[in-house]
Structure 1
Amino acid sequence: MTINGARILLPTVYNCLIFAILLPLFSTADDILLPLDVKSKCPGAEDAITKAVTNAVAGNKGLCAGVLRLHFHDCFVRGCDASVLLDNSTANPNPEKDSIPNKTLRGFQVIDAAKIAVEAYCAKNKSCPTNGCDPVVSCADVLAFAARDCVKILGDFFYDVYSGRPDGTISIAQEAVDNLPAPFFNITQLQSSFAKKNLTLEDLTVLSGAHSVGVAHCSSFEDRLTSINSSQINVAFANSLKQKCTNGNVTVPQDYVTPDYLDNQYFINNLNNTVLFFSDFALRTNTITEDYMEQFGNNYKLSNPNTWKDKFKCAMQKMGRIIELGPNQGEIRKVCSAINVS
């Protein structure tokens, strides 16, 4: 389907159609994201990325949780432009990667492996000059595809990904601090943070379900263990965490029930006061978000057992369409950790 000159991919889930066509995000998104962009430039590119991601996380599915977090942290700062992947350089002396919220990010090696694999695949049948082929797939697209592949690996469900994101050339640590929701945020702060990205309270609740995988450093929630409020955190759960958190560098699973499976267990845990961050509990303090949690937490008892998964597919597509660069801005990086040298 073509809208305003841009090709629009009809999402797998019907409800996604609402935001894909009727709910504009940033003004440039429909001009940039072309669902067949990567496929038209390099048929088979998505499969090459999927194979590389699968190989990179073999034996350590926890890296997939890291990739999901990377994608989220990327899209919330300057849009989905892979600025979170840039290393310290003369051009970017204080990049997002070095900010306090991003110091515990992981999964960079998965994206690097996927980028190398897809560019090698795309160059295989080309006649390239002596200095090599120009890069074909942006690092921002590689990250979006890798996140989708990790959802499949962790949760066994799949969604389509738009492509055509440009790679940004600017990365500033302070912007990560200014834009990323913190683990101590209350519901008002969370709602404001998401609203700035044109994401709703439903999106906030749905995407928080990603906290059913991965680990968290004790330092990010230790204040909840200092003075235990039994109305906010289960006392036995808090005491168990105290025993494990001997110092701030210790990590614990975000979901102690199904730690390696992306499912709706996060919502059940939250309703039982057995989640780590205050920002998780904050979803209980708003009638709208609490209602969503009750729907998702009980969804296996409802007629549609995939209520949350279907919503998560749509929310990931929506977040992946946060684009702040214009059609003629950015680049396709040769290496994901560095901007191209002219």
Structure 2
Amino acid sequence: MAFSKQFSFWVIFAMALTMANASGYYGSKLSTDYYTESCPDLLEISKYITKEFVKNDPRFAPGLLRMIFHDCIVRGCDASLLLDPTPSNNQTEKDTVPNSTLRGFEVINAIKAKLEEKCPDVVSCADVLALASRDAVVAINGPNWDVPLGRKDGKISLASEALAKIPSPFANITTLKKNFADVGLTPKELAILSGAHTIGDGHCFIIQNRLYNFTGKGDTDPAIEKSYADYLKTKCPPNTGNLQSSVGMDFFTPGKFDEVYYGMVTQRKGLFQSDAALLNDPETSFYVHFQAYSGGSTFAQDFGAAMTRLIQIGVLTDNEGEVRKTCGAVRYNY
């Protein structure tokens, strides 16, 4: 069968692809046993608290996953996203539009508070966020991945940097590849990490123009399959601009961490322009089609490996940063 021959080609080609090594972006001083002596209960505390939050509200899983990505893509994985505004810095990353719909700050704060009881002044907020994002995905039976530890917390958080560096849901493939390349991530990892859209919701205000006024003439983005566009219009009527209105990013299995997202993208049913853009590059398009046609044969493994690389971007170690007492404020008296 032609399909069989085509699929064999995809498999062989997939095996030939390897992750690029972007040395200089990743933290060689991190270790999975960094807190073995100084805070031996860390892993269990993070796992238990995160699991309880996710059990009560599964939306914390995509929320924390999105949070770690938004943190690491700006200044590296230094918990700068968690800093609250102050009189001297009244606009932090947290205050920007891309971060206005994030969910999970209370999970991080709960873990940190418990750690300050058990092992005060030891575990950074950056490490808490890295662990909680993994534990949240595992709690919904998603993939697992290694979390090397030893990050320190940064002291700077600028709204302008978040606006400039966080990939936009409106971005084309050229811009997306540059956003990822700027932090040492490959086009393949762009396609892999986009698979996080298999869980969680997208807010209606983000897709309003795509549905109702794509070119300024009251039209719909032709890259969306018509029946899917019609469905989205029932969920997101015109002028739905508030933050409460949303639609599942994965129409078929919204609560399951699986490869169905990729099948949707191949059918022109990706929610965002950035999803559709994956089809406009040979390498990202290949990965999308391979996962769709192979039933996600390598997705969980690939996603875990990509996350382990993501959470080591631009980390601060030793005296390069600090260990905050609370995650929303820089600690000056350490």
Using the alignment, how far apart are the partners of 2:317 and 2:133 within structure 1?
23
Segment drifting more, 104-113 vs 39-48:
39-48
Pick from 161, 182, 197: which aligns with 1:211? 197
Pick from 68, 80, 84: which aligns with 1:83? 80
The residue number in structure 2 matching 1:233 is: 224
Q: CA deviation at 1:100?
A: 1.6
TM-score of the aligned structures, taking structure 1 as reference length: 0.85
Using the alignment, how far apart are the partners of 1:194 and 1:30 within structure 2?
20
Using the alignment, how far apart are the partners of 1:39 and 1:77 within structure 2?
29
Segment drifting more, 138-147 vs 33-42:
33-42
The residue number in structure 2 matching 1:248 is: 241
Using the alignment, how far apart are the partners of 1:270 and 1:330 within structure 2?
40
Q: 1:257 aligned to 2:255?
A: no
Verify the 8 A CA contact 2:54 2:139 in the aligned structure 1. no
- Tell me the amino acid that sits aligned with residue 50 of structure 1: K
Show structure 2 runs of 5+ residues with no match.
1-14, 213-218
Pick from 152, 177, 181: which aligns with 1:191? 177
Q: CA deviation at 1:314?
A: 0.5
The residue number in structure 2 matching 1:106 is: 103
Using the alignment, how far apart are the partners of 2:139 and 2:233 within structure 1?
31
Q: CA deviation at 1:170?
A: 0.7
Q: C-alpha deviations, 1:24-71, integer Å up to 9, x for none?
A: 1427x213x222212232112111111011112222111111000000
Verify the 8 A CA contact 2:61 2:133 in the aligned structure 1. yes
Superposed CA RMSD: 1.8
Q: 1:64 aligned to 2:57?
A: no
Pick from 307, 315, 321: which aligns with 1:330? 321
Using the alignment, how far apart are the partners of 1:290 and 1:274 within structure 2?
14
> After the TM superposition, which residues 3-18 of structure 1 pair with which residues of structure 2 at under 5 Å, given as runs?
none
Using the alignment, how far apart are the partners of 2:221 and 2:19 within structure 1?
39
Verify the 8 A CA contact 2:22 2:184 in the aligned structure 1. no
The residue number in structure 2 matching 1:95 is: 92
Q: C-alpha deviations, 1:208-266, integer Å up to 9, x for none?
A: 00001111111112221122244x11111111111211312211111111111111111
List, as ranges, runs of 4+ consecutive aligned residues in structure 1 with deviation greater than 6 Å: none
Verify the 8 A CA contact 1:95 1:172 in the aligned structure 2. yes
Number of residue-to-residue matches in the alignment: 307
Q: CA deviation at 1:290?
A: 0.7
Q: 1:30 aligned to 2:31?
A: no
Q: 1:324 to 1:46 in 2, by over 3 A?
A: closer
Q: CA deviation at 1:117?
A: 2.1
- Tell me the amino acid that sits aligned with residue 149 of structure 1: D
Verify the 8 A CA contact 2:150 2:317 in the aligned structure 1. no
Segment drifting more, 235-244 vs 323-332:
323-332
Q: 1:41 aligned to 2:38?
A: yes
Verify the 8 A CA contact 1:25 1:321 in the aligned structure 2. no
Show structure 1 runs of 5+ residues with no match.
1-14, 123-132
Using the alignment, how far apart are the partners of 1:65 and 1:23 within structure 2?
26
